[in-house]
Amino acid sequence: MKSGSNLEKVIASGKPAVTAELGPPMSADAHEVVKKAGILKGFCDAANITDCQTAVVRISSIAAAALAFQNGLEPVVQMTCRDRNRIAIQADLLGAAALGLKNCLCLAGDHQKFSAAGKLKGHPGAKNVYDLDTCQLVGVLKKMRDEGKQEGGDALEVAPRFFIGASWTPMADPVDFRPINLMKKVNAGADFIQTQGIYDIEGFRSQMEKIRNMGLHERTAILGGIIVPKSAMMLKYMDSSVAGVSVPKSLIDRMNKAKEAAGEDKKKARELQEQEGIRITVELIHQVLETPGVKGVHIQAIEWESAIEGIVKAAGLYPRPTFD
Amino acid sequence: MIMGSQKPIDEIWAMVKDFNRVLVFGCNTCVAVCHAGGEKEAETIASLVRMRAQQEGRTMEVKHLGVMRHCEPEYFEPVMDEVKKYDLILSTACGVGVNFLSDRTGTIPVFPGINTSFFGSVEAPGFFKELCAGCGNCIVHLTGGLCPIARCSKTLMNGPCGGTNKGKCEVSNEIDCIWYLIVERMKKLGTLEKLSEIQPPRNWATSRDGGPRRISLEHLREYEEKEEKAQATGGKKQ
């Protein structure tokens, strides 16, 4: 075992792994983290704790991960390259390891421009860092763990033993470079990969075929990303505006039908769309898991953590494996 | 070349309004090409300041002047006596010129009339684009001649992030994703496999992160020193 994390154990057992996501609050509200941890506990093998996703200031990933961990939920710390240089990244990750956290997902991070979306003022004028990129960050973590050295070469008496992850957007432009992109992350040391949300299963399978031909599926554990759709509007937005995500018309039509079935009743329209969203999610989970080379799913129910229990049960992925 | 754009007149006015004798001092090299701070633009700014002064009931003497370059003494030394007659110099040179003058004008302040923006190209008349970040450690032989430090919003070194959308950057659909262009160009050059190599963490000490940078060509400096000595002693050039 590289880290001995629960996620690593599930993957090593050969059973399909399930990760979820916990978004920390935009305030110092520890209770919110504890509450969400309680909702997810038992229904996933580990939960990603986002690192100021969309560049919005929230409780830091490591602090929220420590709270989740104390409350029985195994966290995946997220570390972006946007906000910290290699000194801060390594210092924070030594701290995370010292707190007992064992999984770390390396990300470039959304540009600070996104923080001012919608009603939020955000911090679009912030200075970004990008001292390292994702590939380099993965390499730094591997060097710390396997060589017991900091990036600069100084020795670590106690090395942080992380299960190292990276993200992958299989269908973003330039599509034919994406397999090389994954290969670089795997070569750098990524033990597991969580993909961008998949709706276009054919597109994903075609990329996975290339990945299998390159043998990458045997060198890293690929968890297919599933973003739980809540409404027809959300699906349309993701199709038009989210990089690397295309949503087949048939899925948007299904959500529209669910919405229309409620007539003028807005509350019912929301409920029916949510129910349809969960049905679509369960189908996508099965399709992703049936794709050769896939080792699990990463289910993102954004600001809807309570949906995870029902989804995991309906997908036949409950109970989650436990280890002594 | 160095590109810049004029500061809004309100901002300029807030800087200059408390001075009595103002020289708007243009530079006729880079910033003239991008129509920001050449002698012609210095003249326009001077007129705008005069008009504003009139509107505000302020009595001010505002003149303009231009030299070929603000960043080498030989160009402005001939006009320094004139320049020093004013109690404020509003330089429309790039930041290099503003600093260079400030180091040499004693108690006369030098304020910036333009925002120095980037090292860029003239893509079309009136359209300028950043193409180099002056990071001090050029690697574009690895990226098809296109720079990910200057042209990627995240200065990524190992390929595109997940935010590339239809060839555009996640920051704006008006910004090309440089990694998209790098991949396409390297396909054309038949060198795409080079991108499979992992680029290790960079040494940013050659960039701004290493502090203000200097280049010293010792052989030239030695020659100049010898020549000065020879002239001082009445000797001939070697």
Answer whether residue B236 is part of any domain. no
Within this chain, do residues B186 and B112 fall inside the same structural domain, yes or no?
no
CA atoms within 13 A on the CB side of A261: 15
Of A109, A114, A184, the CB nearest to B159: A184
Within this chain, do residues B114 and B6 fall inside the same structural domain, yes or no?
yes
How many Cβ atoms sit within 10 Å of the Cβ of residue A249?
10
Answer whether residue B220 is part of any domain. no
Interface of A with B (CB under 8 A): 81-82, 86, 108-111, 113-114, 128, 130-136, 139-140, 151, 167-169, 172-174, 176-177, 180-181, 183-184, 187-188, 196, 241, 243-244
Domain harbouring B6, CATH code: 3.40.50.2300
A104-115 average pLDDT score: 96
CA–CA separation, A112 and A56 (whole Å): 8
CA–CA separation, A103 and A97 (whole Å): 9
Query: By C-alpha distance, which of B97, B104, B127 is closest to B24?
Result: B97
Count A/B contacts: CB-CB distance under 8 Å. Answer: 104
Range from A135-139, A162-166, B116-120, B228-232 carrying the lowest mean pLDDT = B228-232
Within this chain, do residues B84 and B164 fall inside the same structural domain, yes or no?
no
Query: By C-alpha distance, which of A284, A296, A321 is closest to A221?
Result: A296
Task: Please answer whether residues B65 and B39 qualify as being in contact, where contact means their C-beta atoms are separated by less than 8 angstroms.
Answer: yes
CA–CA separation, A102 and A126 (whole Å): 30
Residue with tokens 């330089």: B91
Within this chain, do residues B102 and B147 fall inside the same structural domain, yes or no?
no
Smallest CA–CA distance, residue B205 to chain A, in Å, is 11
A265-286 average pLDDT score: 97
**DSSP one-letter string for A64-120:** HHHHHHHTT--EEEEEESSS--HHHHHHHHHHHHHTT--EEEEE----GGGGG-TT-
Answer whether residue B9 is part of any domain. yes
* B contacts of A140 (beta carbons < 8 Å): 201
**Which secondary structure element, helix H or strand E, spans residue B174, and what is its range?**
strand B172-176
Within this chain, do residues B12 and B114 fall inside the same structural domain, yes or no?
yes
* B contacts of A133 (beta carbons < 8 Å): 154-158
CA–CA separation, A77 and A63 (whole Å): 9
Within this chain, do residues B11 and B62 fall inside the same structural domain, yes or no?
yes
Task: Indicate whether A106 pLDDT > 90.
Answer: yes
pLDDT of residue B236: 52
CA-to-CA separations, B207 to A54, A186, B100, B217, in angstroms, rounded: 28, 29, 20, 19
Exposed e or buried b per residue across A17-33, where buried means at least 16 C-beta atoms within 10 angstroms of its C-beta: bbbbbbbbeeeeebebb
Within this chain, do residues B143 and B176 fall inside the same structural domain, yes or no?
yes
Total of domains in chain B: 2
Residues in contact with A163: Cβ distance below 8 Å, sequence separation at least 6, in sequence order = A2, A3, A5, A7, A8, A102, A103, A104, A191, A192
End-to-end CA distance of chain A: 15
Within this chain, do residues B143 and B113 fall inside the same structural domain, yes or no?
no
A123-138 average pLDDT score: 97
Within this chain, do residues B112 and B11 fall inside the same structural domain, yes or no?
yes
Q: Categorize the per-residue pLDDT at A56 as very low, low, confident or very high, splitting at 50, 70 and 90.
A: very high
pLDDT of residue A60: 98
Within this chain, do residues B153 and B61 fall inside the same structural domain, yes or no?
no
CA-to-CA separations, A19 to A156, A185, A199, A269, A275, in angstroms, rounded: 30, 20, 18, 29, 21
Within this chain, do residues B26 and B93 fall inside the same structural domain, yes or no?
yes
- How does pLDDT run across A8-22, given as a tens digit for each residue? 999 999 999 999 999
Task: Indicate whether B163 pLDDT > 70.
Answer: yes
Output Rg (C-alpha) for chain B, integer angstroms: 23
Answer whether residue B207 is part of any domain. no
Query: By C-alpha distance, which of A290, A92, B6 is closest to A315?
Result: A290
Answer whether residue B70 is part of any domain. yes
Q: B198: which DSSP letter?
A: P
Q: Do A110 and B170 touch (CB under 8 A)?
A: yes
Range from A110-114, A165-169, B157-161, B219-223 carrying the lowest mean pLDDT = B219-223
Within this chain, do residues B43 and B87 fall inside the same structural domain, yes or no?
yes
Q: Categorize the per-residue pLDDT at A271 as very low, low, confident or very high, splitting at 50, 70 and 90.
A: very high
Query: By C-alpha distance, which of B15, B214, A180 is closest to B6?
Result: B15
ipTM of the complex, rounded to two decimals: 0.95
Answer whether residue B206 is part of any domain. no
Furthest-apart CA pair in chain B: how many Å? Answer: 69
All structural domains of chain A, each given as residue ranges with its CATH number in brackets, are 6-231+285-314 (3.20.20.220)
Q: Categorize the per-residue pLDDT at B6 as very low, low, confident or very high, splitting at 50, 70 and 90.
A: very high
pLDDT of residue B237: 47
A235-258 average pLDDT score: 95
Interface of B with A (CB under 8 A): 153-167, 170-172, 177, 179-180, 183-184, 192, 195-196, 198-202, 204
pLDDT of residue A156: 98
A24-52 average pLDDT score: 98
Answer whether residue B75 is part of any domain. yes
pLDDT of residue B223: 84
Q: Categorize the per-residue pLDDT at B235 as very low, low, confident or very high, splitting at 50, 70 and 90.
A: low
Q: Which domain holds residue B157?
A: 139-200
CA–CA separation, A192 and A167 (whole Å): 9
Q: Categorize the per-residue pLDDT at B238 as very low, low, confident or very high, splitting at 50, 70 and 90.
A: very low
Of A82, A135, A167, the CB nearest to B162: A167
Work out the percent of chain A whose per-residue pLDDT is above 90: 98
- How does pLDDT run across B13-55, given as a tens digit for each residue? 999 999 999 999 999 999 999 999 999 999 999 999 999 999 9
